[in-house]
């Protein structure tokens, strides 16, 4: 079906050997005119591969974002076009009745860059960067979202459907997608205004004395540097803990809704309360944590509970995560809230250098954390707290860490809380 002609306001530019047109296109036109990138592969299987499950969860998320976010925004999609007869309509003869001097500083070449790109309607256009955004736009409009008149920036480049042309466009496709760097977690924490965990983390470290730097290390790393004998954990680790807490609190197995859809201020207050009540419960159940969060000299507390001697389980990011996951499972199994679940596990062992963590997540010879033992340590705590685990596998894995056959249950049973 041939589409109607369309003129897009545009800028024309060059970079390398590409001529491109930076245009504004209504979402309704984008949805009906633009296809996915199957055009750059003659092989059907490769065409399907390149779509990367475009109609899947990510498209649904983007559609939801468009429908629910008033401050929605997209960066430019890169589109390739061939066939038809696109025409460049240059705007010239600039005049100004009040700012005549301004015209003198506009380079001659720039005056040729402003105009309209006219599409005849018979072109074939496909996305080479922004395919998931395109899929989300199509889905949102299919579901009745009133967004058709909104405009997004698009960059149009020419494509030739011969061997050399397809190679050239494929190279551009891979260049754009390989060089796209995911947003780093530290940047999300610092800047994101939709991500619930990021918003609450910032509120905690900015306004709550128990979480201000240096009690929470505001650094890019997930782990606490060896020389830091002050912080309870890092801001990145705190973000991950909040994610676990909030997913449990809203009954979700994924964090997608928490990361991309900013809730109301009242709802944000609810999540803040979930976070503070959980850490208040930890502070009540585990005295060293409470001492650190309330201390005006946190270093004097932390140096006793983290160092080459091992120290307290909760003073390590890995330990804080393990305990939080176990607390959530206890709350889920008992049908109780998080503070009550924390109270019920307050007698778990916490000394890294002793049973059951020695040689599991604590290496006494190297005096370092052994990340490979995280899953086993979590299962050990689950067993101690009376949660369901594969006992045979637990015994087997624990024996391996201890260098031979042990009466594992005889070692662990005295630690059980139930």
Query: 209-224: per-residue pLDDT in tens?
Result: 999 989 999 988 889 9
CB 196 within 8 A of CB 250: no
Per-residue pLDDT at 306 exceeds 90 = yes
Predicted confidence band at 178 (pLDDT cuts at 50, 70, 90)? low
CB 326 within 8 A of CB 376: no
Predicted confidence band at 412 (pLDDT cuts at 50, 70, 90)? very high
> What residue spans of 96-228 are helical by DSSP H?
100-104, 108-111, 131-142, 163-178, 185-191, 196-207
Q: Which pLDDT belongs to residue 103?
A: 67
CB 224 within 8 A of CB 213: no
Q: Is 297 exposed, middle or buried (0-12, 13-18, 19+ CB in 10 A)?
A: exposed
Q: Which pLDDT belongs to residue 52?
A: 47
For 364-373, what is the mean pLDDT?
96
Going from N- to C-terminal start, the domains of the chain cover: 6-180, 186-415
Per-residue pLDDT at 349 exceeds 50 = yes
Structure tokens at 381: 């705590």
Q: Which pLDDT belongs to residue 29?
A: 95
Q: Which pLDDT belongs to residue 105?
A: 73
Distances (CA, A) of 223 to 199, 217, 404: 21, 9, 31
Give Rg (Cα) of the chain: 29
Percent of the chain topping pLDDT 70: 90
Distances (CA, A) of 30 to 50, 208, 317, 321: 20, 46, 46, 44
Backbone angles phi, psi at 151, to 5 degrees: -110, 145
Q: Which pLDDT belongs to residue 191?
A: 83
In sequence order, the 6+-apart residues with CB closer than 8 A to the CB of 226 are none
Coil, helix or strand for 356? coil
Q: Which pLDDT belongs to residue 272?
A: 98
For 11, the enclosing helix (H) or strand (E) is strand 6-15
Coil, helix or strand for 218? coil
In sequence order, the 6+-apart residues with CB closer than 8 A to the CB of 144 are none
pTM: 0.75
CB 218 within 8 A of CB 205: yes
For 236-257, what is the mean pLDDT?
95
Distances (CA, A) of 143 to 26, 31, 90: 17, 13, 37
CB 330 within 8 A of CB 306: no
Q: Read off the pLDDT of residues 263-283 as tens digits, 9 standing for 90 and up.
A: 999 999 999 999 999 999 999
For 363, the enclosing helix (H) or strand (E) is strand 362-363
Structure tokens at 70: 């008033």
Least confident of 172-181, 251-260, 392-401: 172-181
Q: Read off the pLDDT of residues 80-119 as tens digits, 9 standing for 90 and up.
A: 888 877 888 888 666 666 666 766 777 776 777 888 999 9
Distances (CA, A) of 146 to 5, 15, 149: 23, 36, 8
Per-residue pLDDT at 69 exceeds 70 = yes
Higher pLDDT, 401 or 100: 401
Per-residue pLDDT at 176 exceeds 90 = no
Q: What is the DSSP string of 67-115?
A: HH-TT----PEEEEEESS--EEEE------SS-HHHHHTS-HHHHTSEE
Q: Which pLDDT belongs to residue 359?
A: 96
Q: Which pLDDT belongs to residue 256?
A: 86
Coil, helix or strand for 126? strand
Per-residue pLDDT at 44 exceeds 60 = no
Output b/e per residue, 150-176; b: 16+ Cβ within 10 A.
eebebbbbebeeeeeebebbbebbeee
Q: Which pLDDT belongs to residue 46?
A: 44
For 310, the enclosing helix (H) or strand (E) is strand 310-311
Distance, in Å, from the CA atom of 352 to the CA atom of 367, rounded to the nearest integer, reads 10
Backbone angles phi, psi at 318, to 5 degrees: -65, -40
Higher pLDDT, 212 or 50: 212
Predicted confidence band at 336 (pLDDT cuts at 50, 70, 90)? very high
Q: Which pLDDT belongs to residue 40?
A: 55
Q: Read off the pLDDT of residues 114-152 as tens digits, 9 standing for 90 and up.
A: 889 999 998 888 888 888 899 999 999 999 999 999 999
CB 76 within 8 A of CB 22: yes
Task: Tell me the β-bridge partners of 129.
Answer: 78
For 325-330, what is the mean pLDDT?
98
Per-residue pLDDT at 171 exceeds 80 = no
For 259, the enclosing helix (H) or strand (E) is helix 256-260
């Amino acid at each position: 079906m041939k589409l109607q002609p369309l003129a897009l306001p545009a800028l024309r530019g060059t970079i390398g050997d590409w001529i491109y047109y930076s245009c504004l296109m209504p979402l309704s036109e984008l949805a009906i005119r633009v296809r996915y990138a199957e055009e750059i592969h003659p092989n059907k299987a490769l065409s399907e591969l390149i779509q990367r499950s475009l109609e899947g969860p990510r498209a649904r998320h983007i559609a939801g974002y468009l429908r629910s976010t008033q401050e929605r925004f997209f960066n430019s999609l890169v589109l390739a076009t061939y066939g038809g007869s696109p025409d460049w309509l240059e705007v010239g003869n600039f005049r100004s009745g009040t700012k005549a001097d301004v015209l003198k500083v506009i380079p001659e070449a720039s005056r040729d860059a402003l105009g309209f790109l006219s599409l005849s309607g018979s072109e074939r256009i496909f996305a080479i960067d922004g395919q998931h955004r395109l899929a989300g736009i199509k889905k949102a409009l299919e579901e009745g979202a009133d967004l058709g008149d909104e405009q997004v920036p698009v960059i149009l480049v020419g494509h030739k459907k011969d061997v050399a042309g397809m190679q050239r466009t494929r190279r551009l496709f891979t260049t754009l997608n390989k060089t796209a760097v995911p947003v780093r977690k530290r940047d999300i924490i610092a800047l994101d205004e939709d991500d619930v965990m990021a918003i609450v983390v910032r509120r905690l470290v900015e306004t709550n004395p128990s979480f201000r730097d240096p009690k929470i290390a505001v650094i890019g790393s997930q782990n606490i540097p060896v020389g830091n004998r002050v912080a309870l954990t890092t801001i990145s680790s705190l973000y991950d803990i909040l994610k676990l807490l909030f997913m449990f609190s809203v009954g979700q197995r994924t964090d997608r809704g928490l990361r991309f859809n900013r809730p109301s201020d009242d709802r944000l207050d609810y999540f803040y309360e979930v976070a503070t009540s959980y850490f208040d419960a930890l502070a009540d159940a585990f005295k060293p944590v409470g001492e650190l969060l309330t201390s005006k000299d946190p270093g004097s507390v932390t140096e006793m509970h983290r160092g080459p001697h091992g120290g307290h389980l909760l003073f390590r990011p890995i330990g804080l995560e393990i305990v939080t996951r176990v607390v959530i499972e206890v709350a889920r199994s008992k049908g109780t809230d998080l503070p009550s679940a924390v109270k019920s596990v307050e007698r778990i062992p916490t000394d890294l250098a002793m049973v059951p963590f020695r040689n599991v997540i604590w290496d006494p010879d190297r005096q370092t954390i052994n990340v490979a033992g995280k899953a086993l340590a979590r299962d050990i705590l689950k067993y101690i707290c009376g949660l369901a685990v594969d006992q045979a596998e637990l015994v087997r894995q624990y024996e391996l860490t201890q260098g031979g056959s042990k009466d594992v249950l005889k070692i662990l049973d005295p630690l059980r809380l139930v």
